[in-house]
Chain A
Amino acid sequence: MQTVFSIAIDALAYGMVLFVISIGLSVTMGLMRVVNLAHGAFAMIGGYIASYVARDLGLGYAVAVIAAVVITIIIAIPIERLLYRRIYGQPELTQVLMTIGITFCIIGIANYAMGPTLKTIPLAEPLRGSVDLGFRTISIHRLFAIICGLAVALGLWFAIEKTSFGVKLRASVDNAAMAAALGVRTEIVYAISFAVAVGLAAFGGVVGAELLPVEPYYALRYMVTFLVVVSVGGAGSIPGALIACLLLGAIDTTGRYLMPEFGEFFFYLAVIAIICVFPRGLAGRVK
């Protein structure tokens, strides 16, 4: 029984970290219909900024998180205006080629500017160490990641479903020409959504850095994981992504505990099975 609880809490923590990092990609792919392979690159930029602010400038974790999100968005604005705007509504292959190119550029720049070594983000004092839950110990940072995941999920769900901006966004996604005709400034809606997605990527990069350490190849190394979460969850669906992360986290963690030598076999088996049954993902909408 103890083992079951133990696996459950590991699965929850891992799933939530996955969620925080991947949800931004779900927004760009589902709501903006852009296959943004540079998502990991933005997460990495966030991680680097947080590391620089917290470790080299010594400004503390909270400042680092805010700086990472804000500066990454500022960096992304010219990229959106100059590059992404051209690929909205283009065929997927064009989008893939463009965004993977951006990823390679960012990897090269990061390698040159920050060096090839691992960068860590020193945690705030209250987040360090671990707590005893009675049946096992878990690092406080994991609990923090779980809370962050829940907060992000709730916030996004509220913004998309309950605010007027959410209505405009959904309208622009469903039929951009019609929305524009009705007075929705789709360009601005897209720009804001893109900024939010990039901000979430940066936030995820920082919060997840304990599990996925920041180094130049971060951008490519974890891309498959992000894409799997989005495709299993159904692009653009917040509850879908949440369920997908918890499910995949649980399968991966259980498999790793009981049969580590099978590697990621169970993880990908589950992915194949889910995609066979739900080709558009767990909560994907039919076009």
Chain B
Amino acid sequence: MKKTILCALAALALSSTAYADVIKVGVVGPFSGPFALQGKNFKAGIDAYMALNGNKVGSDTIEIIYRDIPTADPAQSKALGQELIVKEKVKYLAGFYFTPDAMAVTPILKQGNVPMVIMNAATSAIMKTSPLVVRTSFTTWQTSTPIAKVAFDAGVKKVISVVSDYGPGIDAENAFKAGFTKAGGEVVESIRIPLATNDFSPIMQRIKDSGAQGVFAFLPSGPTTLGFVKAYNDNGLKAAGIKFFAPGDLTQESDLPALGDAALGIQTTFHYAVSHESPENKTFVDAAAKAIGNKAELSFPAVGAYDGMHVIYKMIEATGGKQDAEKAVEAVKGLSWTSPRGPVSIDPESRHITQNIYLREVAKGTDGTYINKETQTFEKQGDPGLAAAK
């Protein structure tokens, strides 16, 4: 009798090790340094998803392994990717805030048999570097194209574009120009300013001198944005009636308290506002705010991470926990679900997320905090950047 019980126990133990695996997911992002806030948002999105959906898919337990890359550093990113695949034996790679970091890792995906889910990096070209990449964030083209139509419809025919002189800035400039000239408007001047600009007064003077009716701007969120918006007000451009258009990176929620009244009325287009009204978003914001500790720090990378986890869970479901990168990616092509940001789907061809882009205006919410109030929806926007690059 004793023997049978022992045998049964042994069998049970064996079978459980055979079926209930620990599946490791490696997440690479900026968790320290100047962009730590965005890394924190990655973590908040992932934690929120796992708090709401459990840490198990079937009988497999999901374990997240975080790796820190403070600033864009392709060599370091590649080293981290290799370490995660070879040493930690992760079955999925995710995260990636900067495009160069993601690009550095895509060449090793095939050999490692590991799919990658990008939770932020927003350049169209990444998707072409490997068939094993899926993206749940946005591209600068995707968020910058609709604002061109908004500007034209608002009666603005002449626009000056001002962007920071780096990859996403140039993407934004091209996307806006393409959209705006197609609508029938004219971009009178395109200015590229260095990333390390502190004083924007001369730029404002140039905008004034150009005779444009509106300005399209793209700068990385953080100190530069604050300086730009302040200069826009202080130099009397707002008073002169020159309209301000930008993609939503400029008015990300965590910067709004600092921008304050200066930002009121600025129109941006973006894929996600923390104030988006839907039951899914309410659940998400509650869980993510709990994970991050302070709701005011919540911003768009959190939703990219949350949906990225959704995609990874679906991949694990489809492969039954076995390591098969191609099958995993194949399984999520065309996948559609209701994200906190609205209805989304993975475009089977580009593997990039198709989503609604919202026109928002910075306004004061009912509780006195500043929000991005959604006023118009552009439904089911794909990524025009990939087509433009062809």
Chain A residues proximal to chain B, CB less than 8 Å:
3, 6-7, 10, 13-14, 17, 111, 115-120, 130, 132, 136-139, 141-142, 210-213, 215-217, 221-222, 225, 252-254, 256-257, 260-261, 263-264
Contacts and interface: CB of A to CB of B under 8 A. Distances in A.
Contacts of B260: 120
Contact of A118 (B202, B233, B255): B255
B291 to A, nearest CB: 15
A118 to B, nearest CB: 4
B207 to A, nearest CB: 11
6 contacts: A117-B296, A136-B235, A211-B227, A253-B201, A256-B202, A256-B203
Contacts of A115: 294, 297
A192 to B, nearest CB: 31
Contact of B192 (A10, A120, A212, A260): A260
Contacts of A14: 199, 201
B283 interface: no
Nearest to B254: A117
B191 A260 contact: yes
B135 interface: no
A143 to B, nearest CB: 11
B292 to A, nearest CB: 10
A106 to B, nearest CB: 15
B236 interface: yes
Contacts of B294: 115
Given A117-B37, A117-B257, A136-B205, A215 B194 contact: no
A142 B233 CA distance: 13
B235 A260 contact: no
Contacts of B191: 260-261
Nearest to B201: A10
A261 B226 contact: no
Nearest to B260: A120
Contacts of B233: 130
A137 B202 contact: no
Contact of A212 (B193, B209, B223, B296): B223
A225 B197 CA distance: 11
A116 B255 CA distance: 10
Given A118-B223, A137-B235, A213-B223, A260 B199 contact: no
Interface in B192-222: 192-194, 196-199, 201-203, 205-206, 209, 222
B36 interface: yes
Given A141-B234, A263-B165, 18 more contacts: A10-B199, A14-B199, A118-B223, A118-B226, A120-B226, A120-B257, A130-B233, A132-B236, A136-B205, A137-B236, A138-B234, A142-B234, A212-B223, A216-B34, A252-B199, A253-B201, A260-B191, A260-B192
Given A115-B297, A138-B234, A213-B258, A257 B205 contact: yes
Contact of B199 (A117, A136, A256): A256
Given A213-B223, A261-B165, A261-B191, A120 B202 contact: no
Contacts of A210: 230
B40 interface: yes
A55 to B, nearest CB: 9
Contact of A117 (B196, B234, B297): B297
Interface string B225-262: 01100100111100100000000000000110110100
B235 A217 contact: no
B199 A7 contact: no
Enumerate the 5 nearest inter-chain pairs by beta-carbon distance, A residue then B residue, closest first. Answer: A263-B194, A139-B234, A137-B236, A257-B202, A118-B258
B223 A215 contact: yes
Contacts of A253: 199, 201-202
B223 A10 contact: no
A115 to B, nearest CB: 7
Nearest to B199: A14
A87 to B, nearest CB: 27
Nearest to A2: B209
B235 A139 contact: yes
A261 B258 contact: no
Nearest to B223: A213
A206 B81 CA distance: 42
A67 B239 CA distance: 34
Contacts of A225: 198
B205 A10 contact: yes
Nearest to B39: A116
A7 B203 CA distance: 10
A177 B132 CA distance: 70
A6 B205 CA distance: 8
Contacts of B297: 115-117
B275 to A, nearest CB: 17
Given A213-B226, A260-B203, A138 B255 contact: no
Contacts of B198: 211-212, 222, 225
Nearest to B226: A213
A254 B37 CA distance: 34
Contacts of B202: 7, 10, 253-254, 256-257, 260
A217 B220 CA distance: 15
A268 to B, nearest CB: 11
Contacts of B194: 260, 263-264
B113 to A, nearest CB: 36
Interface string B164-197: 0100000000000000000000000001111011
A93 B321 CA distance: 54
A117 B223 CA distance: 9
Contacts of B206: 257, 260
Counting chain A CB atoms within 10 Å of each CB, the highest count among B40, B205, B222 belongs to B205
Contacts of B258: 117-120, 213
